[in-house]
Amino acid sequence: MVRPIRPRFVRGPPSIDYFKPRGIPLSTLDEVVLKVEELEAIKLKDLEGLEQEECAKKMKISRGTFQRILSSAKKKIADALVNGKAIKVEGGNYKMPVARMGRGFGRRAQWPPTVCVCPVCGNQQPKVAGFPCSQMKCSKCGSLMVRGD
């Protein structure tokens, strides 16, 4: 049985997804594929200078796993630098914080929040989704309301 790979947490999408040596046409270029979590590992450890322990915690993985990801990343980057290969950042097994807010994504957001206003007394009530203001009665004077904002 294959052990399922736990996702590694990265903070955001990579700022670049392709890195290539100058002056070599893409068609003749070899490339290494750096996984998104490998780039994140390099960033945390080598760029931001965090302790391995801390990096592992941030990515919600064990220290051993972090170590493996980091060495794999370094090997690929070294290969690209030494042998003049392009680096493509792609794939891997990771989760971004934004992915957890995916629920309801694509639905039209109610922002800024819409209110219904009573034309008689000026009372404001939050609009109920799917229910027009013109069918809503003012809680203070009972008049039909109009859409505010």
Name the residue nearer to Zn ion (CB basis): 60 or 140. 140
Least separation, in Å, of the C-beta of 145 and Zn ion? 8
Least separation, in Å, of the C-beta of 137 and Zn ion? 8
Residues in the chain: 149
Give the pair of three-digit tokens for residue 144.
């039909």
Name the residue nearer to Zn ion (CB basis): 33 or 141. 141
Q: Is there binding between residue 141 and Zn ion (CB under 5 A)?
A: yes
Q: Could you tell me which stretch among 52-60, 68-76, 99-107, 110-118 binds Zn ion (CB under 5 A)?
A: 110-118
The interface mask with Zn ion, positions 62-101, x = CB under 5 A, is: ----------------------------------------
**One-letter-per-residue 3-state SS of the chain:** CCCCCCCEECCCCCCCCEECCCCCCHHHCCEEEECHHHHHHHHHHHHCCCCHHHHHHHCCCCHHHHHHHHHHHHHHHHHHHHHCCEEEECCCCEECHHHHHCCCCCCCCCCCCCEEECCCCCCEEECCCCCCHHHCECCCCCCECEECC
Name the residue nearer to Zn ion (CB basis): 44 or 116. 116
> Strand order in 86-89's β-sheet?
18-19, 86-89, 31-34
Q: Is there binding between residue 140 and Zn ion (CB under 5 A)?
A: yes
Least separation, in Å, of the C-beta of 13 and Zn ion? 48
Least separation, in Å, of the C-beta of 121 and Zn ion? 3
Name the residue nearer to Zn ion (CB basis): 67 or 143. 143
Contact positions toward Zn ion, by CB under 5 A? 118, 120-121, 123, 138, 140-141, 143
